[in-house]
Amino acid sequence: MSQLTENNAMGAESTAEQPMLKLLNVESAYGPIKAIRGVSLQVKKGEIGTVLGSNGAGKTTILKTISGIIDPRKGTVEFKGQNITARDPAFIVQQGLSHVPEGREVFPLLSVRDNLLMGAYTRKDSDGVAKDIEAVFGYFPILKERAAQDAGLLSGGQQQMLSISRALMANPDLILLDEPSLGLSPKLTKEIFEIVVRINRERGTTILLVEQNANMALNASDYGYVLENGRIVMEDTCARLREKDDIKEFYLGMKEEGMRSERRWKKKKTWR
């Protein structure tokens, strides 16, 4: 049964264009430490959204709050129009939202294939599961070669591939990706980002990616947010963000006016 809700407070878009994910004024804390404050963001169906931010900005906290690992102090999280704020993580996975955590947590003593099957534990359609195993082997052929090997024996990059693949095995509508580039070589990072974009284009999976690697994230994504000290300080299409001087200087390491910029950053807080 469809329930049309009045969400004028959440913006003027028509309900026909309902975003896949919507955060409104979310605040999460660890004891007395407020990690994110007043975070509002959206990811449209079929798009790749990104949150850029440096160490400790609050990127992981945003993803943990979405997937129910942390309950927010304030604000709401909506997924496919449903309020999932502070719901149980298992419930949220069942709704079609998978989280690839920071530092790619694979089960080291399980085989690669069993790790993949763990990602599909909520599914009843064994044909679909078998098909999706073949699909992830298509994206990451090395996982097929290593299917019987313990996941703990994989390299860091291969574990990242497995972690993404395990999320895919739930056949999700939305994947949260926490810094897939962490600890990987530029070449491997590029390969993984290319596959992430293919997954988005070919399967239509919506993705929210958080990254310190702004270059990769801005090239792969449609819409981006800049997070600083737990607050969103800027948002725009990635095409436009790539052209902004602040982003070029601070995140992409491109300086047009010489040496002054680095210094200025320390003082200047206004994002334009």
Q: State in angstroms the smallest separation of the CB of 105 from Mg ion.
A: 13
For Mg ion, give the closer residue by CB, 42 or 181.
Answer: 181
Residue 138 binds which entry of ligand ATP, Mg ion, none, CB below 5-8 Å type-dependent: none
For ligand ATP, give the closer residue by CB, 25 or 212.
Answer: 212
For Mg ion, give the closer residue by CB, 22 or 59.
Answer: 59
Residue 114 binds which entry of ligand ATP, Mg ion, none, CB below 5-8 Å type-dependent: none
For Mg ion, give the closer residue by CB, 140 or 193.
Answer: 193
For Mg ion, give the closer residue by CB, 24 or 36.
Answer: 36
Q: State in angstroms the smallest separation of the CB of 70 from ligand ATP.
A: 9
Binding residues for Mg ion, rule: CB under 5 A, are 59-60, 102
Residue 229 binds which entry of Mg ion, ligand ATP, none, CB below 5-8 Å type-dependent: none
Q: State in angstroms the smallest separation of the CB of 212 from Mg ion.
A: 8
For ligand ATP, give the closer residue by CB, 33 or 259.
Answer: 33
Q: How distant, in Å, are the alpha carbons of 7, 39, 238 from that of 48?
A: 24, 18, 10
Nearest Cα neighbor of 169 from 129, 203, 139, 138 is: 129
For ligand ATP, give the closer residue by CB, 60 or 115.
Answer: 60
Residue 148 binds which entry of ligand ATP, Mg ion, none, CB below 5-8 Å type-dependent: none
Question: Is 47 exposed, middle or buried (CB count within 10 Å of its CB: 0-12, 13-18, 19+)?
Answer: middle
- C-alpha 160/C-alpha 165 separation (Å) is 8
Q: How distant, in Å, are the alpha carbons of 24, 51, 78, 141, 227 from that of 232?
A: 12, 9, 18, 38, 4
Residue 212 binds which entry of Mg ion, ligand ATP, none, CB below 5-8 Å type-dependent: ligand ATP
Q: State in angstroms the smallest separation of the CB of 32 from ligand ATP.
A: 9
Binding residues for ligand ATP, rule: CB under 6 A, are 30, 33, 35, 53, 55-61, 102, 212
Residue 14 binds which entry of ligand ATP, Mg ion, none, CB below 5-8 Å type-dependent: none
The token pair that represents 131 in the structure block: 């098909």
Q: State in angstroms the smallest separation of the CB of 61 from ligand ATP.
A: 3
Residue 30 binds which entry of Mg ion, ligand ATP, none, CB below 5-8 Å type-dependent: ligand ATP
